[in-house]
């Protein structure tokens, strides 16, 4: 079973939930798809033994063949190539690797070269994978794709997705059996939860909500979930003990039997609700 953990916004405790859930399931594979800021490793402390570069093909122009016709610039929908006064300018960071400029070039002046945008790292037991996007790179989907090629089918898999509801999240969540949406009881939390709910409903994947930093006044989240027939799977209280452990790289399940039990129950609920 593949379980995606996501949140409409950053800082809601998505990694606490995904890493705690993974630590509560025997043999679980944890996949950190939050490639701009992967931090599951801080808590799960994997023994990383493999690091694989993720490369993308980008165009390179042979100036000796180019006649400055401008066809390549007209063909690129992403403004990653432009021809100014007969000279070709390339912006490889925003290239989407579609190959249209190669096809459009009448001189055969364009060829592709590999460009490294990040890495994927794998633990020795293949129970931990993470993607890491190089600083300044704007396109992370190729790294998510590489991670997803390596998902295991023989064990439960927990995917820690990027915050928000971008194409990176869609790529991570696609094909999962269940989604856990992590939120917090604030107006921003509710606003972003609604966006995440819309996305996951459109994708047709079963889901439930975990309220993190819960207080006595969770009314708006509870009301919204009740009105929309959404199951609240778990509430994690706003607790100094949990916050302190977290700041020391310790998950609630790693130092508290009660939380271990609660996350085991969360997994049972997810199993019951997942795509059959």
81 near ligand SF4, judged by CB under 6 A: yes
Query: Dmax of the chain from CA atoms?
Result: 71
CB of 59 to ligand SF4, least distance (A): 5
Which of 59, 131, 185, 208 is in the footprint of ligand SF4 by CB under 6 A? 59
The distance of closest approach from Cβ of residue 60 to ligand SF4 in the complex, given in angstroms and rounded to an integer, is: 10
Task: Decide: is 74 part of the binding site for ligand SF4 (CB under 6 A).
Answer: no
Please name the helix (run of DSSP H) or strand (run of DSSP E) that holds residue 2, with its range, or none. strand 2-6
CB 111 within 8 A of CB 59: yes
* Angle, vertex CA 72, rays to CA 68 and CA 76, nearest 5: 150
Site for ligand SF4 (CB under 6 A): which residue of 22, 110, 165, 251? 110
Query: CA of 227: how far to CAs of 29, 183, 224, 232, 251, in Å?
Result: 34, 17, 5, 12, 32
Instruction: Out of 80, 165, 173, 182, point to the residue binding ligand SF4 (CB under 6 A).
Output: 80
Tokens of 11: 């800082």
Instruction: Indicate the residue among 64 and 247 with the shorter CB distance to ligand SF4.
Output: 64
| Residue span binding ligand SF4 (CB under 6 A) among the ranges 21-29, 69-77, 144-152, 206-214 | 69-77
Q: Pick the binder of ligand SF4 from 31, 100, 176, 209 (CB under 6 A).
A: 100
Contact residue for ligand SF4 among 99, 219, 237, 249 (CB under 6 A): 99
Whole-angstrom distance, CA of residue 101 vs CA of residue 72: 4
How many C-alpha atoms does 104 have within 13 Å on its Cβ side?
A: 18
Residues 129-168 within binding reach of ligand SF4 (CB under 6 A) = none
- Closer residue to ligand SF4 (CB): 115 or 150: 115
CA distance 170 to 13: 19
Q: Are 182 and 235 in contact (CB under 8 A)?
A: no
68 binds ligand SF4 (CB under 6 A): yes
């Amino acid at each position: 079973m593949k379980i995606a953990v996501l949140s409409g916004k950053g800082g809601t405790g998505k990694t606490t939930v995904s890493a705690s859930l993974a630590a509560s399931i025997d043999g679980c594979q944890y996949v950190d798809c939050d490639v701009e800021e992967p931090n599951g490793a801080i808590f799960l402390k994997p023994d990383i033994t493999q690091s694989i570069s993720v490369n993308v093909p980008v165009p390179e122009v042979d100036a000796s063949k180019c006649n400055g016709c401008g066809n390549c610039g007209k063909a690129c929908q992403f403004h990653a190539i432009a021809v100014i006064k007969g000279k070709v300018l390339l912006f490889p960071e925003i290239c989407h690797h579609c190959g249209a400029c190669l096809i459009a070039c009448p001189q055969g002046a364009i060829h592709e070269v590999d460009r490294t945008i990040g890495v994927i790292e794998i633990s020795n037991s293949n129970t931990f994978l993470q993607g890491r996007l190089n600083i300044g790179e704007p396109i992370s989907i190729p790294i998510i794709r590489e991670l997803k090629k390596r998902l295991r089918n023989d064990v439960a898999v927990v995917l820690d997705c990027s915050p928000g509801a971008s194409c990176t999240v869609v790529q991570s969540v696609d094909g999962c059996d269940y989604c856990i949406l992590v939120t917090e009881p604030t107006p921003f939390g509710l606003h972003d939860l609604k966006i995440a709910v819309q996305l996951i409903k459109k994708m047709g994947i079963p889901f439930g909500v975990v309220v993190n930093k819960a207080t006595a006044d969770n009314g708006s989240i509870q009301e919204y979930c009740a009105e929309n027939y959404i199951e609240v799977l778990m509430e994690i209280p706003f607790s100094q003990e949990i916050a302190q452990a977290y700041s020391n790289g310790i998950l609630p399940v790693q130092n508290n039997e009660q939380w271990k039990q609660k996350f085991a129950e969360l997994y049972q609920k997810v199993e019951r609700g997942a795509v059959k």
